[in-house]
Amino acid sequence: MIIMKIGVIGATGNAGSAIYQEAVQRGHEVTAIVRNEAKAKEQFGDTVKTLTKDAFSLTEGDLDGFDVLVDAFATSPDQAYLHVDLAAKLVHLFREKNTRLFFILGAGSLFNEAGERNLTELKKAPGSESWIAIPENQLDEYLFLETVKNVHWVGISPGNLFQEGPAKPAILGKDRLLFNDQKKSVTSSGTLAKAILDEIETVQHENTRFTVIDAE
């Protein structure tokens, strides 16, 4: 196996921490890109390698040398537009370079059985007005990425419900919202992390998005 230099933006979040730990377990050289170094050490131990900086303050020099950069940035619904802003910043920094960028997208950009964006159904959920800005902006993020041709990017969407938990047997797809045999569309953080590291180690997707859910 080729050992890669992997940076994880938002490494102390649910998705980011699972990705960080999966990458470390596989023997890669991993850097947690975080705003709070103490929190990273609390989660991962004192030996964690960190780049302590706000994601929007990162420079080309900060990120030079990474083989892979994973955007696991998370924010509150009232600032959901930052998903788009950070994607645009990273694309700008990595034009015409070999680094692979991974973006965690929501389930709203996937298509349902009727051929509509799943965002349409998410909006119908009770109380959705309190959080719908996040999948709305993640859809905008994905639509932006689709226009980008000279950056090595990959998007990954979880199922309708993303939750913390260990990796489970997985079902992979491309653009359609997936359901398992129990009619559930759930993705555990461990399942997402495993799918991302599998893709990092064995390239299957380029300038496109794929999706993964728990099979059970």
One-character DSSP codes across 58-102: --HHHHTT-SEEEE-----GGGTTHHHHHHHHHHHHTTT---EEE
Residues 179, 182, 187: CA angle, nearest 5 degrees: 50
With contact defined as beta carbons under 8 Å apart, do 31 and 39 qualify? Answer: no
pLDDT at site 1: 80
Q: What is the pLDDT of residue 150?
A: 96
For the chain, what is the total number of helices (H) and then of strands (E)? Answer: 7, 10
pTM: 0.96
Q: Report the CATH number that the domain containing residue 52 is assigned in CATH.
A: 3.40.50.720
Q: At what angle do helices 14-25 and 189-201 cross, to 10 degrees?
A: 50
Three-state SS for 210? strand
Q: How many domains does the chain have?
A: 1
What is the per-residue pLDDT for 175? 96
pLDDT for 76 equals 96
Report pLDDT for 21: 98
176 lies in which domain range? 5-214
211 exposed, middle or buried (CB, 10 Å; 0-12, 13-18, 19+)? buried
The pLDDT of residue 178? 98
Asked whether the beta carbons of 107 and 76 are under 8 A apart, the reply is no
CB atoms within 10 A of CB 76: 10
Cβ partners under 8 Å of residue 10, min gap 6: 16, 33, 34, 55, 71, 72, 73, 74
**Spatial CB neighbours of 63, under 8 Å, sequence gap ≥ 6:** 7, 69, 93, 94, 99
pLDDT at residue 62, as a whole number: 97
Q: What is the pLDDT along the chain (216 residues), one digit of tens a residue?
A: 899 999 999 999 999 999 999 999 999 999 999 999 999 999 999 999 999 999 999 999 999 999 999 999 999 999 999 999 999 999 999 999 999 999 999 999 999 998 999 999 999 999 999 999 999 999 999 999 999 999 999 999 999 999 999 999 999 999 999 999 999 999 999 999 999 999 999 999 999 999 999 999
Task: Name residue 153's amino acid.
Answer: W
Region of 61 on the Ramachandran plot (φ > 0 left; ψ -120 to 50 alpha; else beta): alpha
